[in-house]
Every structure is written in structure tokens, then in C-alpha cells.
């Protein structure tokens, strides 16, 4: 079935208010192995907790191993392992350790991503840091873990994206902003679109081998910010915080709690409702409809539906080829 046919809501019965625990209710993931990159903070930690609670064995892959171990202390069937997505050798070492363990990998959640920064930060290769870690790092990791994904005889790769994919532009001739014009939000939006395009091409290439891929918009989740904090005024203007600095939870308008945000991640990871489907972008625990209508971002409206450009198969193939070339340098 083609992408355009699959990218439409299923009518799952879940809502924007649904929590991760509610999505997983009645499921038993005993014997399933899961990797969650950055699974020791915020959405990643909620995802780890929820999947482990229903029986999955979860490996939290992160750069700060001690922090990861502390965060998952007390979570049964959760372990931490060293992984720096900005370091090619660290990615290879992690994949080598996993593959040598002969454990099939049932779910890979590519969750970790640096927060948008106004600074133009490059990695050691001269690659823009958002693109280098959130896309290229996960691209390298996923390909390195293909033997374990194949061994699961039915695996899912979940790529964290965002409604920012709607205004993301792939700067094919200057992916790393070397020619100037860097903007933290533009870099973030580009990589969030790249996360969806990677999902599309990954599914096209490996669906017949039982490896399906999903991109996820979890919703907008912000942490409390005391008045006077650097982000306070910006978040207030966006309708994300109240006057005391507490997050405004309004799921119908895309503003969610961590438990609500993690729900679509675990939906992608484990819901039987997605059987036979792949290469699609999810939001609110369902497949998103395609929406190419220009919609402004306001305090009352946070557009997050998928656009045709973000699931364009030709752009997805091009990104795959460019990514493979960048990794080979």
C-alpha cells in the first residue's frame, strides 16, 4: 500500500488526552527488547517507564551514563548503556555491544535530540549539531542495528519528530548552514523534517523484512519556568506557561503533560492497531491527516499535522543518499 494511502487517520479511539499507560493497557511486552536513546530524561524517561511497566526490557542509551543510571534506578527491566550520538565511534561501539549480545531488537526509539540553540554549533566533522546528532547519529545507529532488528522478525523504529516539520526546509546545498543564515529554529525544523523523511525511506527499504518505521509528534511539552528565567517571557507569549511559570496543559491545542506526550511514542512502539502500517507520521495516538494549508503558529493554535513535503518519497530517497555520503566522509 502506498504512502499516500497509509497517511490517514485510523480512528483508534484514543484522544489527545490519552496517556502512555492508557495506550499500553492490556498489552504484555514480556520478552521484547527495546532501546530508547536519551531515555533518561523527560519524554524518554516516561517512555522507558511505560514500556518497562508492561514487561519490556528497556536499554536506555545515553551520553551521561551516571545520570542515566540514577534516572532509571528502581525501574525493573531497565538498564543503561553508553551512547554519544555525536561520536561515530561511540555509535559503532554501542551497536557492536548490542549485536554481540545476540538479543533481537524489537523496538528502537530514536528519541534523543539537543534542544534548539541560537548558537551555530558544529560537531568535530563540521556538521551542524542538530542534524549531526538527531538525524545522522540515529541514521548511523539504526543501520548498525539492522542485524538485531531483522532478528526480531517484526521490529519497529520510532523516530521523534515535531510539528516543526511543517516549516522545515531541507537546505540541500547547505545542510550545515556553512554559508550563513543560521537560525536555531530553522536548524531544528530542518532536522524534524529529516526525521520524517528518514522514516519514509527506512520503511520503504525494510518493510518487507519486517522492519516498520514511524515518525512521532508527541505534542508540545515544556518544563516549569520561574518568572525571570530566560525562556519565561517567550513561553508566556506562546501560551505555554501561566503567570506563575507553570505549564498550561491543553491537549486539544497540542499542549501536553509528559505522560500524554509519551503516549504517541509508545503507541508507535507497541500498539497492535499499527500492524501492517509503516512509513507514516503519528500525532495524538493516531496516523495524522495530511494538511498542506498554511497555518500560523499562535498561542491558541499549534499546527502539527503532516505536510506532503515532509513525506515526499523523492526527498526521502535523496536524504538517505546524502546521509550515507556524509557518514562515509
Residue 203, by phi and psi: left (phi above 0), alpha (psi -120 to 50) or beta? alpha
For residues 245 and 229, the answer to whether their CB atoms sit within 8 Å is yes
Please, which residues have CB within 8 angstroms of residue 272's CB and are 6 or more apart in sequence? Answer: 27
Q: Which residue is catalytic, options 127, 188, 235, 281? A: 188
How far apart CA 273 and CA 250 sit, in angstroms, is 25
* Cβ–Cβ < 8 Å for 103, 96: no
Let me know: does 83 contact 94? Beta carbons within 8 Å.
yes
Q: How far is CA 291 from the centre of its chain?
A: 20
| Reduced 3-state DSSP string for 310-327 | HHCHHHHHHHHHHHHHHH
Cell of residue 224, nine digits: 516549569
Report residue 214: phi and psi, to 5°.
-140, 140
- In whole angstroms, give the CA distance from residue 309 to residue 38: 28
Instruction: Tally Cβ neighbours within 10 Å of residue 188.
Output: 21
CA-derived radius of gyration, the chain: 18
The C-alpha torsion from 134 through 278 and 264 to 248, rounded to 10°, is 70
Task: Give the separation between CA 108 and CA 98, rounded to whole angstroms.
Answer: 12
> Residue 281: beta bridge partners?
215
If one counts every other C-beta atom within 10 angstroms of the C-beta of residue 74, the result is: 7
- Reduce the DSSP state of residue 306 to 3 states and report it: strand
The answer to whether 181 and 128 have CB atoms below 8 angstroms apart is no
Q: Is 235 a catalytic residue?
A: no
- Residues catalogued as catalytic: 188
Amino acid at each position: 500500500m502506498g504512502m499516500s494511502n497509509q497517511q490517514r487517520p485510523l480512528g483508534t479511539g484514543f484522544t489527545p488526552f490519552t496517556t502512555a499507560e492508557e495506550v499500553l493497557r492490556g498489552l504484555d511486552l514480556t520478552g521484547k527488547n527495546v532501546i530508547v536513546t536519551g531515555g533518561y530524561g523527560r519524554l524518554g524517561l516516561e517512555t522507558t517507564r511505560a514500556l518497562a511497566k508492561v514487561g519490556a526490557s528497556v536499554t536506555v542509551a545515553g551520553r551521561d551514563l551516571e545520570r542515566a543510571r540514577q534516572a532509571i534506578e528502581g525501574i525493573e527491566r531497565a538498564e543503561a548503556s553508553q551512547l554519544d550520538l555525536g561520536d561515530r565511534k561511540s555509535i559503532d561501539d554501542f551497536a557492536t555491544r548490542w549485536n554481540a549480545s545476540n538479543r533481537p531488537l524489537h523496538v528502537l526509539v530514536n528519541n534523543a535530540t539537543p534542544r534548539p540553540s541560537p548558537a551555530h554549533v558544529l560537531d568535530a566533522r563540521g556538521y551542524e549539531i542538530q542534524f549531526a546528532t538527531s538525524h545522522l547519529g540515529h541514521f548511523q545507529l539504526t543501520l548498525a542495528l539492522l542485524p538485531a532488528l531483522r532478528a526480531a522478525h517484526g521490529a519497529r523504529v520510532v523516530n521523534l519528530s515535531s510539528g516543526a516539520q511543517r516549516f522545515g526546509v531541507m537546505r540541500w546545498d547547505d545542510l550545515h548552514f556553512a554559508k550563513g543564515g543560521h537560525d536555531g529554529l530553522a536548524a531544528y525544523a530542518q532536522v524534524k523534517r529529516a526525521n520524517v523523511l528518514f522514516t519514509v525511506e527506512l520503511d520503504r527499504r525494510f518493510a518487507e523484512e519486517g522492519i516498520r518505521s514511524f515518525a512521532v509528534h508527541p505534542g508540545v511539552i515544556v518544563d516549569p519556568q520561574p518568572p525571570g528565567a530566560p525562556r519565561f517571557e517567550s513561553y508566556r507569549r506562546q501560551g505555554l506557561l501561566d503567570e506563575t511559570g507553570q505549564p498550561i496543559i491543553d491537549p486539544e491545542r497540542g499542549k501536553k503533560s509528559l505522560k500524554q506526550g509519551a503516549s504517541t511514542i509508545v503507541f508507535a512502539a507497541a500498539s497492535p492497531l499499527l500492524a501492517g502500517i509503516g512509513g507514516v507520521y503519528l500525532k495524538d495516538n493516531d496516523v495524522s491527516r495530511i494538511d498542506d494549508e498554511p497555518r500560523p503558529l499562535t498561542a491558541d493554535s499549534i499546527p502539527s499535522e503532516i505536510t506532503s513535503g515532509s513525506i515526499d518519497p523523492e526527498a526521502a530517497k535523496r536524504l538517505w543518499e546524502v546521509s550515507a555520503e556524509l557518514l562515509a566522509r
